[in-house]
Structure 1
Amino acid sequence: MPSLPRRSILKLLMAAAAVPIGLPGCSSAPQRLYVLTPLPRQTVTPQRNGRSIGVQAITLPEYLDRPEIISHAGPNELATSPDDRWAEPLPANMTRVVAENLSVLLGTDRVHTLPSRREEEADYEVAIAVDRFERTTTDNSVLDARWVILNGGTQKVVVSNRTRLTAPVSGDGYAALVAAMNETLTALSRDVAKDIANLRPRKTAQSGS
């Protein structure tokens, strides 16, 4: 087979270089990333001698523990958008936001996520298991969560509760959906903070037992 002249080979290589390569994401619209946000910090300095609260990592069903934001398209059908995603793993975002909300609502800076490198033992620990956290077919954001408050020393459950919340999605697009989801997470934080506030300080509770 006769070989091609050098000039012809160079032309072929230049033509091949001019053909665009379909790399993933090159022609698609940029992704929109979302996060849940905590309550704003108050101007009053938080107390440093308040209850010490540890917030365990929030658990989610596997269908929610993913980068895509979930909506219901039917009774047994879920829908996502390839361009609208959580900016970080949802359990980590939710856990951090709840911890920061509790710090604001209880007026203390002694709230931290678990596990923690702090040597101080928490007075109480909060464990939250989320069963639902998505948009419904009726354009509401729904949050259904079971949660307990445990004695930080004995790990005995001192409060067991459940929060079911819905918030209307006011507007089109995922920004409105995330805002409604943020509203329900704030309301959950208020429920937990209310029950923590009703508990006696752990040392007092132990001395009276």
Structure 2
Amino acid sequence: MLALLTGLLGLGGCVHNAPVPMYQLDSGTAELPDQSAGMAVLLGPVSVADYLQRETLLQRQPDGSLTASTDGRWAGSLAGDIDQLLLRQLSWRLDSQRLVLAPANPGFTPEIQVLLSISRLDSGPQRPAVLEAQWRVLDKAGQLRDSRLVRLEQPHSGTAADQVRAQSQLLQQLAEQLAGAVKPLSGQPAAAAEEPRKATAAPARAREPVPPKIPMAAPVRTDVEVFRF
């Protein structure tokens, strides 16, 4: 009996201490370009919603609420994984090694800066993976060249592993949109900033002296008759 009780307690301890699976985002088939040349792009700042800045793998429920998953968690910082995934995807799609995460080094002068704000990235066993974000593209003069609000959805099978795969694919689709907005700006001059118009009063023109009006002589009619002899 004592041996049986000891075995049950040991089995319970093993079940309680079972390792929890840990997940990372997948960068896909992004290949780093061989050439060191290419567009100089500054990626960031990339801001991520507060509720995503944790190791817990959150699950979106049918009623819209979020609960912590018991089947897995993120292996490290989700925000850091997002940065690296986007950096590799953009470097591959733009065929450039000259991509830097913000803040950039003092000697780096970007041709383009991409600002990104991710307000939602989650999924659930019965809910699709959803990504909501806003991105802006600035030229080297700091002028806004493009901007967009994005909402993307990706179905999955319901398992934690497949949910992570779906979320990774959403970020890859986002990187494809960003690359499509940045490519046309390659080699283009920065947009000239519009100089504010100064409201200066135009000097009043000196009025030329107006000559006095002379009344026109009107013919005077008379009733006098002239007789010739």
Question: TM-score normalised by the shorter chain: which range applies?
Answer: 0.7 to 0.9
Q: Note the residue ranges of structure 2 that are not aligned, 5 or more in a row.
A: 1-8, 194-229
Distance 1:29 1:93 in 2: 25
Alpha-carbon shift at residue 66 of structure 1 (Å): 1.3
Q: Name the stretch that deviates more: 93-102 or 28-37.
A: 28-37
Check conservation: 1:58, 1:92, Cα contact below 8 A.
no
CA 137–81 in structure 1, closer or farther in 2 if over 3 Å, else same? closer
Corresponding residue number in structure 1 for 2:175? 189
Distance 1:129 1:188 in 2: 12
Q: Secondary structure at the match of 1:91?
A: helix
Distance 2:117 2:24 in 1: 19
Check conservation: 1:71, 1:80, Cα contact below 8 A.
yes
Corresponding residue number in structure 2 for 1:178? 164
Deviations 1:114-137 (A, max 9, x none): 123361211111111111111157
Distance 1:129 1:182 in 2: 16
Deviations 1:140-193 (A, max 9, x none): 101011111122x33232211122110101x24210000000111100000000
Check conservation: 1:57, 1:91, Cα contact below 8 A.
no
Alpha-carbon shift at residue 89 of structure 1 (Å): 1.3
Check conservation: 1:133, 1:141, Cα contact below 8 A.
yes
Corresponding residue number in structure 1 for 2:27? 38
Please report the TM-score for the alignment, with normalisation by the length of structure 2.
Answer: 0.71
CA 207–27 in structure 1, closer or farther in 2 if over 3 Å, else same? closer
Distance 1:208 1:155 in 2: 10
Distance 1:207 1:62 in 2: 34
2:12 is the alignment partner of 1:28? no
Picking from 155, 179, 191, the partner of 1:168 is 155
CA 37–116 in structure 1, closer or farther in 2 if over 3 Å, else same? farther
Check conservation: 1:38, 1:97, Cα contact below 8 A.
yes
Q: Secondary structure at the match of 1:59?
A: strand
Q: Secondary structure at the match of 1:69?
A: strand
Picking from 166, 189, 192, the partner of 1:205 is 189
CA 160–207 in structure 1, closer or farther in 2 if over 3 Å, else same? closer
Within a 5 Å distance, the mapping from 1:138-149 to structure 2 comes to 138-149=126-137
CA 118–87 in structure 1, closer or farther in 2 if over 3 Å, else same? farther
Picking from 130, 147, 150, the partner of 2:118 is 130
Q: How many residues align?
A: 182
Distance 1:47 1:100 in 2: 14
Alpha-carbon shift at residue 26 of structure 1 (Å): 8.9
Please report the TM-score for the alignment, with normalisation by the length of structure 1.
Answer: 0.77
Corresponding residue number in structure 2 for 1:8? none
Question: Which structure: larger Rg?
Answer: 2
Within a 5 Å distance, the mapping from 1:56-135 to structure 2 comes to 56-117=44-105, 119-135=107-123
CA 30–199 in structure 1, closer or farther in 2 if over 3 Å, else same? same
Q: Secondary structure at the match of 1:40?
A: coil
Distance 1:207 1:156 in 2: 7
